[in-house]
Chain A
Amino acid sequence: MKTMKQLLNIVIIILVSAFFFGCDEGVYDIDEPGNLLPKTVTEDLRLPRLEINGKLFHAETMGNIENPIIIFLHGGPGSDYRPMISQKGVENASRYPEERTVTNGGISQLQDEYFCVFYDQRGGGLSPRFEPGKLSFDLYVEDLNDIIEYYLQAKENETGISDSQVYLFAWSFGGTLATGLINAYPERIKDIVSYEPGPLSKEVWDYVKDNTTSVLSEIGKEWLEEYLIAHDHFTPDGHERADYQYMMNVSQSDKSQPEFHADPNSPYWRAGALLLDDNLDFIDSEDFDITSNLNSFQGRFLFIGSENVLNELPEYADMQMQYYPQSGLIEVSEVGHTGPWEKPDEIALLIRNYFK
């Protein structure tokens, strides 16, 4: 009887505490946007945005639209353009343009000669999220094509200047996306500069996988243990929790992918975790083709590689450049995969010179 009473006590305590937890305004909802991660353009009307054909993106432009247009493509997939408008040693760019202390940070300094278009790709950064299975590489290519068309038309409408091509700067996965666009619409792009583009074929993916750290070899390392134990603290059901967990990987990229020598202090707004299920970068593909039509491309391709990554993966640049009919290579010294954030002045100068 005594034990029965004690069990009853437990049930009452649990019910009472459930009531209090349910009513206490001091307890936040972990899935509520804005608590753990910044709100996206869907939830925060202060954020700069672009809406095309019913598609919404976190996006902004800098510079005079009379100048040549550069579209900037960030990495990931699922990352954002914040590290391209920020730079090492300077305050990270606020998500609200009016609150920035520096308005031409990072490689956005090119706005003095070019009309610069920055956008977060679908599902990444502060662009709206999508459920797994809703995204594809082809959708990304069509988004980019629509954005190019939109700004070429805007330029003509606002200035009377009729351009048919834009320039691309593409970083990491952005290079894979840019190549997919050029393969599908080779006439759209004048020239492209890519900072260590993601693998353009399965052959290159295999080379990267064979020469980089496997996660299995990291079992027992503190960075991976922290990531794993976090699953006991919140599960990845839902975007907020999944993205928040994934940001743990982003902040430890120097340890999880040491061959890329990324600076872990490189800023981001948000990395989309669930879109990784959609194989946007072809990492899980047995075969894929985004290069078979590159011979039709009349422009030039500049591969900027970092000294540290090219030392780790010496064949990487040549393997990638072979797909482009006209290509060149420039190495940036004493830096790794986050070079555009670490050395934006040097890389902006390379872009200027190449596009001229």
Chain B
Amino acid sequence: MNNIKTIVIAMTLLFTLNQLSAQTIINSDPDVNNRVYLRTGIEPATMLTLGYERKFDIGFLNQNIVGFAEFGSSTANFSNNDFKIGGILPVIEKGKFKIVNNLNVSAGSMSAKNFDSKRFAAADEVAFGIYGVKRFVALTAEYENIFLNKIEHSDFYKETYYEDAVDGWYKGAGGRFQFGLEGGFTIKKDIDVYSELKLPFTEKLNSYRGSPMHLNLGIAYRF
């Protein structure tokens, strides 16, 4: 078990260091290197997320990358939260049309009446869109895989439903597709407003059985 913890921590740290040591561009604006943002919406619960992006020059492929880190929390219970880090890289550019890839890993924690869970996931989102300096619109497709959980059942769960429920590390918690539309514009030179609408499905394209759609509104400050 300690091996697993060590690997997860090492992977997370290494990924972080790699992202933070890179360099690039946000929404094609050559004069901006940083952005902080606040996002709220339903994904998958009612969340409030604070994030930071930084532009890096990766030194090859003649491309820039945006590294980001964000912390989101349920508005109903701040102990139910999620931390995500990743990189955003335009993979194809033809004028304002871009195909942009967002690769990220995340760690989440939740506490419920029946159990506590910690989860580790990796995701990749591809956006096909028109990206101008002051506005953008894109179609998105995302896949997230939850590769590891730690689940601990509550006394209530064991006493009321299943006394032999197994606490521990779990694999195979599944994956999720999201298909969506996102867009945004810039006001007053350095304030971005954006929104995202996504339809979630399980990785087997079954009903997600949670919120039928995910909707986010965000505001960001460039500097």
Complex Cα gap A273–B207 (Å): 12
The distance from the CB of A258 to the nearest CB of chain B, in whole angstroms, is: 16
Structural contact, A234 and B76, CB atoms closer than 8 A? no
Task: Flag whether B162 is at the interface (Cβ < 8 A).
Answer: yes
Structural contact, A273 and B21, CB atoms closer than 8 A? no
Within 8 Å CB of B111, what residues of A? 226
Q: How large is the interface on B (under 10, 10 to 19, 20 to 34, 35 or more residues)?
A: 35 or more
Within 8 Å CB of A67, what residues of B? none
Task: Flag whether B62 is at the interface (Cβ < 8 A).
Answer: no
Q: Select which of B42, B44, B58 is within 8 A of A3 by beta carbon.
A: B58
Task: Flag whether A207 is at the interface (Cβ < 8 A).
Answer: no
Structural contact, B113 and A252, CB atoms closer than 8 A? yes
Q: Is the interface of B mostly helix, strand, loop or mixed?
A: mixed
- Binary CB contact string for chain A from 1 to 12 against chain B (1 if under 8 A, 0 otherwise): 111101101100
Q: Select which of A16, A242, A248 is within 8 A of B113 by beta carbon.
A: A248
Structural contact, B148 and A21, CB atoms closer than 8 A? yes
Within 8 Å CB of A233, what residues of B? 108, 110, 117, 119, 146, 149, 173
Structural contact, A34 and B146, CB atoms closer than 8 A? no
Q: Which of B30-38, B189-197, B198-206 contacts A (4 or more CB under 8 A)?
A: B198-206
Task: Flag whether B28 is at the interface (Cβ < 8 A).
Answer: no
Task: Flag whether A225 is at the interface (Cβ < 8 A).
Answer: yes
- Binary CB contact string for chain A from 204 to 236 against chain B (1 if under 8 A, 0 otherwise): 000000000000000111111111111111111
Structural contact, A36 and B164, CB atoms closer than 8 A? no
Within 8 Å CB of B113, what residues of A? 223, 226, 248, 251-252
Complex Cα gap A258–B212 (Å): 23
Within 8 Å CB of B162, what residues of A? 36-38, 269-270
Using CB atoms, name the residue of chain B closest to A273: B209
Structural contact, A27 and B161, CB atoms closer than 8 A? no
Within 8 Å CB of A163, what residues of B? none
Q: Select which of B76, B156, B165 is within 8 A of A35 by beta carbon.
A: B165
Task: Count contacts between A and B, CB distance < 8 Å.
Answer: 203
The distance from the CB of A230 to the nearest CB of chain B, in whole angstroms, is: 7
Structural contact, A9 and B76, CB atoms closer than 8 A? no
Given that A30-B149, A225-B46, A237-B204 are known contacts, is A20 also in contact with B14, CB under 8 Å in the complex? no
Structural contact, A26 and B169, CB atoms closer than 8 A? yes
Structural contact, B44 and A16, CB atoms closer than 8 A? no
Q: Which of B5-13, B91-99, B131-139 contacts A (4 or more CB under 8 A)?
A: B5-13
Residues of chain A in range 265-283 having any CB-CB distance to chain B below 8 Å = 265-270, 273, 277
Within 8 Å CB of B14, what residues of A? 6, 9-10, 13
Structural contact, B210 and A29, CB atoms closer than 8 A? no
Structural contact, B22 and A3, CB atoms closer than 8 A? yes
The distance from the CB of B87 to the nearest CB of chain A, in whole angstroms, is: 10
Structural contact, B202 and A27, CB atoms closer than 8 A? no
Using CB atoms, name the residue of chain B closest to A7: B18
Structural contact, B45 and A17, CB atoms closer than 8 A? no
Structural contact, B146 and A234, CB atoms closer than 8 A? yes
The distance from the CB of A5 to the nearest CB of chain B, in whole angstroms, is: 10
Given that A36-B165, A237-B206 are known contacts, is A232 also in contact with B174, CB under 8 Å in the complex? no
Task: Flag whether A286 is at the interface (Cβ < 8 A).
Answer: no
The distance from the CB of B2 to the nearest CB of chain A, in whole angstroms, is: 10
Structural contact, B209 and A242, CB atoms closer than 8 A? yes
Within 8 Å CB of A220, what residues of B? 46, 75-76
Complex Cα gap A153–B148 (Å): 52
Task: Flag whether B74 is at the interface (Cβ < 8 A).
Answer: yes
A-B complex: 10 closest residue pairs judged by Cβ atoms: A235-B174, A234-B173, A228-B45, A225-B76, A231-B210, A226-B112, A229-B45, A17-B7, A225-B45, A30-B170
Give 16 A-B contacts (CB < 8 Å), ordered by A residue.
A9-B14, A13-B7, A24-B4, A24-B169, A28-B166, A28-B168, A28-B170, A36-B151, A219-B46, A225-B45, A228-B45, A234-B149, A238-B174, A248-B112, A266-B160, A267-B160
